[in-house]
Structure 1
Amino acid sequence: MFETPITVVGNIVNNPFRQRVGDQEVIRFRMASNSRRRTPEGEWEAGNSLFVSVSCWGRLVTGVGASLVKGDSVIVVGQVYTSEYDDREGVRRSSVEVRATAVGPDLSRCVARIETLRRSDTASTVDAPEEAESGDHGDDVGADPADLGDAAGTEALPLTA
């Protein structure tokens, strides 16, 4: 009822790991969101960092498990909360956690190829175009993004990490 929505942009800092909780699966990972700021001299310096644990349930398990690894730039949308626990020495600790509702690559810092997962019940009632079923999306699939232009013939901007 009083969930706190949040969007976090950052990098995955450990390899996502899959767990079974009861009869469900969950994928968890930690991510860091780092800020930078420009000094009066015009140089960039590191700012504050936010580290959060992310849990992905349901349909996110398949996509995150097949797509993301340590170091990937991601955008995570979900509800944030504080988890409290006792560590091995019995000291009370807390951590910021996000239960993700959406996770995706940060396309300002990477290039991604999209594969749509189709439900078996939806696939039988909706006729998909032949090229979508075959995975053939034109000659530019797998091409260097710097070599691709838009429909007007302008060059694509080079990507930086």
Structure 2
Amino acid sequence: MFETPFHIVGNIVTDPIHRQVGEQEMVRFRVASNSRRRTAEGTWEPGNSLFVTVTCWGRAVAGASAGLVKGDPVIVVGHVYTSEYEDRDGNRRSSVEVRATSVGPDLARCTARIDRTKQPADARVTDLADETSDASDDGAADESGRELPLSA
């Protein structure tokens, strides 16, 4: 499948819907992006609008379902494609959809509080032990075998 990289800056225009699809979770919502253009008189007028359906899978689900609501300004990065379907009357329709790889608040238009996922304490100790053993393998020791500080 050909995947076209895509990003959109806009506002969420529907309430995000969290669903279970088989064994996987997903979040779906719509984003509208509006352009404006400057007139010859120097004023601004509305331009074209783009509406896309955004789906989040995998690791993006937890953050999107916990932190996003209708009206939020967002930046969405992912792959765009056209979804074709038949409506209730049997008419052939299509819509632009984005499979998001990243979704976040547009910090130029809002403020956000970051809630980082905490690592278990023993995982952090293991990471530090690995870093220490990696540093000693770099040969950063004096003649007596003592480790040198990084600034030496």
Shorter-chain TM-score: which interval?
0.7 to 0.9
* CA shift digits 1:11-64 (9 cap, x unpaired): 000110011110111100001000011111111100000000000011111101
1:126 — aligned with what? 124
- Aligned AA for 2:18? R
After superposition, residues 1-161 of structure 1 pair within 5 angstroms as 2-118=2-118, 120=120, 124-127=122-125
* CA shift digits 1:109-144 (9 cap, x unpaired): 000011111455xx53225xxxxxxxxxxxxxxxxx
- Aligned AA for 1:51? F
Shift of 1:73: 0.2
- Aligned AA for 1:6? F
- Aligned AA for 1:57? W
If the length of structure 2 is used for normalisation, what is the TM-score? 0.79
- 1:124 is paired with a residue of what secondary structure? helix
Question: What is the aligned residue count?
Answer: 125
Name the % identity: 67
How far apart in 2 are the matches of 1:27 and 1:4?
21
* CA shift digits 1:76-111 (9 cap, x unpaired): 000000000010001110000000000000000000
**Are the structure 2 counterparts of residues 119 and 82 from structure 1 closer, same or farther at C-alpha, using a change threshold of 3 Å?**
farther
If the length of structure 1 is used for normalisation, what is the TM-score? 0.74
How much is the aligned-residue C-alpha RMSD, in angstroms?
Answer: 1.2
How far apart in 2 are the matches of 1:96 and 1:66?
25
1:147 — aligned with what? none
Q: Which runs of 4+ in 1 moved over 2 A?
A: none
How far apart in 1 are the matches of 2:11 and 2:72?
5
- 2:63 is paired with a residue of what secondary structure? helix
How far apart in 1 are the matches of 2:103 and 2:78?
9
